[in-house]
Amino acid sequence: MTTKRREVAGIRPYDAPAGGWGALKATAVAVRTQMDMMEAPVTLMRTNQPMGFDCPGCAWPDKEHRSTFQFCENGAKAVTWEATKKRVTAAFLAQNTVTSLLEKSDYELENYGRLTQPLSYDRATDTLRPVSWEAAFDRIGTVLRGLSPNQTEFYTSGRASNEAAYLFQLFAREYGTNNFPDCSNMCHEATSVGLPRSIGIGKGTVSLDDFDETELIISIGHNPGTNHPRMMGTLHEASRRGVPIIVLNPLKERALERFTDPQNVIEMATYGSTRIASSYYQVKSGGDTAALKGIMKALLALDEAQRGAIDHDFIAEHTQGFAQFSDDLRNTSWESIEKESGLQRAELQQVAAAYAKSRATIVSYGMGITQHNKGTANVRLIADLLLLRGNFGKPGAGICPLRGHSNVQGNRTVGITEKPSSQFLQNLQDVFGFTPPREHGHDSVRAMQAMIDGQAKALLCLGGNFAVAMPESERSFQAMKQLDLSVHVGTKLNRSHLLVARETFILPCLGRTELDIQAGERQSVTVEDSMSMVHASSGKLKPASESLRSEPAIVAGMAMATMPQSKVQWQDLVSNYDAIRDLIEKTIPGFDDYNKRIRIPGGFRMPLPPTERKWPTETGKAMFSVFKGVSEDVKIQADDVLRLITLRSHDQYNTTVYALDDRYRGVFGRRDVLFMNDIDLEKHGLEHGDLVDIETVVSDRKLSMPGITVIAYDIAPGSVGAYYPEANVLVPLDYFDEDSGTPSYKSVPVRVTRSDKQNQLP
């Protein structure tokens, strides 16, 4: 970038490495603005410790939960945000109508602090008013009994514990529905659907030890410096061992370039840093399908030239479908691969050559792979790549999906799914004596469509911010208001709570960090991390208010009020969570000696057959996939159509915005920007700092976002980026992966034009 750019407010390059002193400073600010200084150090030290709570930040594991406190800036933000001193009081709510609160930003809403008592919406005054727990439960029960079960949607956000999630699915299934929209449907559903088809189980296969032994890491479509910060320690270590790290990502992400480990005294003292990516390929948004096919095509060519680039013995013994798979690769042209991926043949050949040399490879991936309308196919292509060299069931190798919410994987394991297996339903029937519904239910997109069509009448949310997380805000916000009943179990106020239905209840719960006493005993819950480790989590802080209840207690309260004749002993389960775990053990495989094993520090690992080269697929073999062609289904392709990526900033947790900076990308105090490559700026006749309008290219309706400041950024040409959740107004609800139902949040076809508002700039 040689040309001198105009100054744009809040935009300045951040030249420092990720981590380091910048991260320490940011942590201090988070603590100062949210927490009591006396409590903060103790609370932070308890994160991910044997007798402490599991970090609500991300699902990256810890070495046996025994390590000394691992510093993590964004983990600290997640903890301090929950352990804040700020409170939403009845007096505050009496003074602020729901209509006026809806004018506030997502950041302001949560920043009012913790919810302190159950609330119900009062239409006459347009305010949220305190209500007793019993009155709330009674009314929820009465409304639900008046509906047919399939008119109710049971939404889960992946922070809920195994115990709360298990009770939630039990409630819904005894009530009579499999409608389980779930944050996973917007996140790693492509993994949950794609991997079972390839290797027989929808989970990652690596452990932290594998990172110690790996010879190559390929990182595709995830941003660990922000979203899985504890992974940075692992990558840092690997890089220092000389392990090549190949990155495929349209954006230059600072943490994937270089990182200073705050635990490393020398690096900190000398202002040093470690390079992370050994090579960085800026694939186009949605271009991974083509890139992966290109790498594998090159690998086959290498093998033809000199046998040994692929593992023929492994393929013969353990897989099926190789012939069709390799035929398809041979028939895919380099021209189409280069065009769609935005990468050169020679670059993809380099990746193939590095891969052919490595005896143990890990591929890690995140939302850059799954949130596309070919997300499931993308995941399967990654599995294919690993199968080609037998990178399952050996040390240092495997697939590593980076999960989202800290217990999203556990929620799935304990039965939050709209497509339950018949065996699981039978187990419920045998143990509880009620007949669960067999027909499949709604995922997130289908639930929202049912709400828009008026088929769904009630929505119960175990956490989360459903309407804001979903695509097409205009329609999803309206759908919330059409409901007869919405119920939100949450810790902080958010927009979904305020998009009130005919009747709305907000039920405040204990957070992870807080002490949970039932029948006089301290309780712990359990969670499963990205590497299938299940362990206990137990908070110690004094609850934010005396009126809070635990998530299991709230779910049980609603269930008892809805089903007075229930066959489940809800009260006993709430009195002692061991009793919930006993039921999980009885109905779900892999939880043998559950209560015993979670009392061992570090917990235990769920079964992962592919790590022993066992493949619980229909054929008993690992399956290659065939992806015809190279591209996503883009309804409208034209020269001036760009692909929009919706992104998280460094200062946010999903719809929770902690602050307005995105330090590593050089954006400060604002979120109303569009990242664009210099080449595209020039093509569009735009300059860094111009005001633009974005419009989604859909045929039948207008989705637009006016008045955004376009800024020059090192992003693949043809791709642009804007922040989630603001940009959800642009994501079409009906543009999703058919296999997994995941919205295409990372490849929305858009046009960008100079804004009329430009003239109004000062």
- Coil, helix or strand at residue 290: helix
Q: Does 366 bind Mo ion (CB under 5 A)?
A: no
Structure tokens at 6: 């105009």
Q: Does 223 bind ligand MGD (CB under 6 A)?
A: yes
Q: Which of residues 118-157 bind ligand MGD (CB under 6 A)?
A: 157
3-state helix, strand, coil in the chain (%, to 5): 40, 20, 45
- Coil, helix or strand at residue 617: coil
Q: Does 81 bind ligand MGD (CB under 6 A)?
A: no
The window from 18-26, 584-592, 605-613, 722-730 that contacts ligand MGD (CB under 6 A) reads 722-730
Selected binder of ligand MGD within 465, 523, 611, 677 (CB under 6 A) = 465
Count the site residues for ligand MGD by CB under 6 A: 62
Give dist(CA 338, CA 342) in Å, integer.
Answer: 6
491 binds, among ligand MGD, Mo ion, none (CB under 5 to 8 A by kind): ligand MGD
98 binds, among Mo ion, ligand MGD, none (CB under 5 to 8 A by kind): none
Q: What's phi and psi for 518, nearest 5 deg?
A: -130, 135
Give dist(CA 446, CA 426) in Å, integer.
Answer: 25
Q: What residues does 722 pair with on adjacent strands?
A: 646
Largest distance between two CA atoms of the chain: 78
Of the pair 198, 371, the CB lying nearest ligand MGD is at 371
Q: Which of 419, 415, 421 is nearest to 163 (CA)?
A: 415
The window from 5-13, 413-421, 458-466, 681-689 that contacts ligand MGD (CB under 6 A) reads 458-466
Q: Which of residues 296-315 bind ligand MGD (CB under 6 A)?
A: none
Selected binder of Mo ion within 229, 250, 321, 404 (CB under 5 A) = 404
The window from 19-27, 396-404, 595-603, 662-670 that contacts Mo ion (CB under 5 A) reads 396-404
User: Strand pairing of 748-754 and 642-647?
Assistant: antiparallel
Q: What single DSSP character describes residue 549?
A: B
Selected binder of ligand MGD within 80, 654, 677, 696 (CB under 6 A) = 654
Helix (H) or strand (E) holding 522: strand 521-522
Give dist(CA 570, CA 209) in Å, integer.
Answer: 40
Give dist(CA 474, CA 702) in Å, integer.
Answer: 11
In the complex, minimum distance from the CB of residue 256 to ligand MGD, in angstroms, rounded to a whole number: 8
Give dist(CA 323, CA 511) in Å, integer.
Answer: 52
Q: Are 559 and 573 in contact (CB under 8 A)?
A: no
Of the pair 491, 740, the CB lying nearest ligand MGD is at 491
Listing DSSP states for 130-172 in one string gives E--HHHHHHHHHHHHHTS-GGGEEEEE-TTS-HHHHHHHHHHH
Give the number of other CB atoms < 10 A from CB of residue 178. 23
Handedness of CA 114, 117, 120, 123 (dihedral sign): negative
Q: Which of residues 383-412 bind ligand MGD (CB under 6 A)?
A: 402, 404-405
The window from 95-103, 217-225, 272-280, 753-761 that contacts ligand MGD (CB under 6 A) reads 217-225
Selected binder of ligand MGD within 163, 253, 384, 680 (CB under 6 A) = 253
74 binds, among Mo ion, ligand MGD, none (CB under 5 to 8 A by kind): ligand MGD
The window from 92-100, 209-217, 242-250, 542-550 that contacts ligand MGD (CB under 6 A) reads 242-250
Selected binder of ligand MGD within 44, 186, 568, 673 (CB under 6 A) = 186
Q: Does 187 bind Mo ion (CB under 5 A)?
A: yes
Q: Does 464 bind ligand MGD (CB under 6 A)?
A: yes
Structure tokens at 190: 């492509």
Q: Are 732 and 750 in contact (CB under 8 A)?
A: no
Give dist(CA 301, CA 297) in Å, integer.
Answer: 6
Q: Are 75 and 61 in contact (CB under 8 A)?
A: no
Q: Does 283 bind ligand MGD (CB under 6 A)?
A: yes
Of the pair 48, 407, the CB lying nearest Mo ion is at 407
Listing DSSP states for 640-682 in one string gives T-EEEEEE--TTEETTEE--S-BGGGTB-S---EEEE-HHHHH
Of the pair 427, 547, the CB lying nearest ligand MGD is at 547
Selected binder of ligand MGD within 178, 234, 274, 285 (CB under 6 A) = 285
Give dist(CA 90, CA 145) in Å, integer.
Answer: 30
Count the site residues for Mo ion by CB under 5 A: 2
The window from 295-303, 401-409, 415-423, 707-715 that contacts Mo ion (CB under 5 A) reads 401-409
- Residue 328 CA: distances (Å) to CA of 219, 292, 312, 530, 706: 25, 13, 18, 32, 43
211 binds, among ligand MGD, Mo ion, none (CB under 5 to 8 A by kind): none
Selected binder of ligand MGD within 159, 254, 318, 374 (CB under 6 A) = 159
110 binds, among Mo ion, ligand MGD, none (CB under 5 to 8 A by kind): ligand MGD
Selected binder of ligand MGD within 53, 424, 466, 594 (CB under 6 A) = 466
Q: Does 443 bind ligand MGD (CB under 6 A)?
A: no
657 binds, among ligand MGD, Mo ion, none (CB under 5 to 8 A by kind): none
Of the pair 152, 654, the CB lying nearest ligand MGD is at 654
Q: Which of residues 545-584 bind ligand MGD (CB under 6 A)?
A: 551
Contact set with ligand MGD (CB under 6 A): 57-58, 74, 110, 157, 159, 183, 186-187, 220-223, 226-227, 248-251, 253, 283, 285-286, 288, 366-368, 371, 402, 404-405, 462-466, 469, 489-492, 494, 509, 511-512, 551, 645-648, 652-656, 724-725, 727-728, 731, 745-746
Chain residues in the site for Mo ion (CB under 5 A): 187, 404
